[in-house]
Structure 1
Amino acid sequence: MEDNDLKWKTLSSEYLFKDQWLTARKDRCERKDGKIIDPYYVMEYPEWVTAVAITEENKVLLVKQYRHALGEVSIEIPGGCVDDTDDNFEDAIRRELLEETGFAFASVHSLGRISANPSTNSNLMHMFVAIGGKKIQEQDLDPNEEIEILELTFDELIQLVEEKRIIQAMHVTTIMYALMYLDKIEFKR
């Protein structure tokens, strides 16, 4: 079966809620075999970027912040939403890194893209590894952000992953891809 044989046709869409960070819509769809799927709910979010950020001193930058939906303080890697002012995903992650950490990076390498949940979310997370970070300014946080910066060794980062202390699933995925990219871990079968 070809991929196009699996795709649905959207017959109609109705927006139920629209806001800056979240849009919810209800679609009416038709499969290739004629079956109608109604309703099918889709959450639209902006594209996201995140990076494993490594300083000139070979330290990994992590961020610690309160996450209200869980009611917990979370250890994460830097990242955020792609803005309309960003020309591309690399520009977006460079901006996010500078805002959240105050560091600029000599090079940024794409690790690909992932989806939080392709059955309900329309956006993607674009993953990067940033190398050669140097602090050039203080944090420039959004009004609702309060972020503590952590500088860890690779062994400390791997320990946090092994202890399951980093709970943001997409960030763990980015960390694993970055560690493989950097030859810090090997995928074993």
Structure 2
Amino acid sequence: MTDEQLKWKTLSSEYLFKDTWLTARKDRCERADGKIIDPYYVFEFPEWVTAFAVTEDDKILMVKQYRHALGEVGIELPGGCVDETDATFEDAIRRELLEETGFAFESVHALGRTSANPSTNSNLMHMFVATGGKKIQGQNLDDNEEIEVLEYSFEELFQLLDEKRIVQAMHITTIFYALRYLDKLNFKP
């Protein structure tokens, strides 16, 4: 089958809930073979950005914060939602890095995109690697944010990964692509 033959046609959509951070809708869809799928629930979120951020002295910036849905404090990469004021995804990650860590970066390279769950979530997270970071200001956090900035060596990061201390799957994906881009992965045959 071609990609077009696999795509569904949306016959109708009904919004069930709309708020700043969550929008839920119920779709009625038709497959290419004529089968009707009703209801199909979709969660709409803003686009996200995250970065594997490396300082000019080769430290990896991570953030520690409470995540209420899990009820846990976690270690993650810096990042967040793309704002309407961001002209590009790169602008968004540069803004998020500055707000959350106070660091500005010489270089930002796009690594691609990933989805938390493409069967239910409509958005993507855009992954970056940022290098040459230099602290230029204090944090400028949103009202609901309490973020501790952590600095790790590459060796310490690998220890965190070995200990399974990073649970945010999309951030682990970003870490993988960044380590690959930076030629820090050594696969053994």
Give RMSD over aligned pairs.
Answer: 0.8
Which residue in 1 is equivalent to 2:124?
124
Unaligned ranges ≥5, structure 1: none
Distance 1:34 1:187 in 2: 46
What amino acid sits opposite 1:39 in the alignment? P
Which residue in 1 is equivalent to 2:149?
149
Secondary structure (helix, strand or coil) at the match of 1:120 reads: coil
Give the length in aligned residue pairs: 189
How far the C-alpha of 1:188 sits from its partner, in A, is 5.4
How far the C-alpha of 1:34 sits from its partner, in A, is 0.3
Secondary structure (helix, strand or coil) at the match of 1:54 reads: strand
- Aligned pair 1:62/2:88, yes or no? no
Distance 1:36 1:2 in 2: 20
Secondary structure (helix, strand or coil) at the match of 1:122 reads: coil
Distance 1:157 1:180 in 2: 14
Q: Point out 4+ residue stretches in structure 1 off by more than 3 angstroms.
A: 186-189
Secondary structure (helix, strand or coil) at the match of 1:92 reads: helix
- Aligned pair 1:15/2:15, yes or no? yes
What amino acid sits opposite 1:98 in the alignment? L
What amino acid sits opposite 2:83 in the alignment? D
Task: Describe the superposition over 1:131-171 as per-residue Cα deviations: whole angstroms up to 9, x where unpaired.
Answer: 00000000000011000010110110111011100000000
Task: Describe the superposition over 1:15-46 as per-residue Cα deviations: whole angstroms up to 9, x where unpaired.
Answer: 00001111000000000000000000000000
Which residue in 2 is equivalent to 1:111?
111
Which residue in 2 is equivalent to 1:171?
171
Distance 1:95 1:50 in 2: 11
What amino acid sits opposite 1:59 in the alignment? K
What amino acid sits opposite 1:88 in the alignment? T
What amino acid sits opposite 2:71 in the alignment? G
Which residue in 2 is equivalent to 1:133?
133
| 8 Å Cα contact 1:180-1:187 kept in structure 2 | no
| 8 Å Cα contact 1:52-1:175 kept in structure 2 | yes
Which residue in 1 is equivalent to 2:182?
182
| 8 Å Cα contact 1:103-1:137 kept in structure 2 | yes
Distance 1:132 1:78 in 2: 15
Task: Describe the superposition over 1:60-111 as per-residue Cα deviations: whole angstroms up to 9, x where unpaired.
Answer: 0000001111110000000000000000100000000000000000000000
Unaligned ranges ≥5, structure 2: none
| 8 Å Cα contact 1:111-1:126 kept in structure 2 | yes
Which residue in 1 is equivalent to 2:82?
82
Which residue in 2 is equivalent to 1:48?
48
Distance 1:78 1:186 in 2: 25
TM-score by length of 2: 0.98
Sequence identity of aligned pairs in percent? 79
Distance 1:70 1:10 in 2: 33
Distance 2:134 2:10 in 1: 48
How far the C-alpha of 1:186 sits from its partner, in A, is 3.4
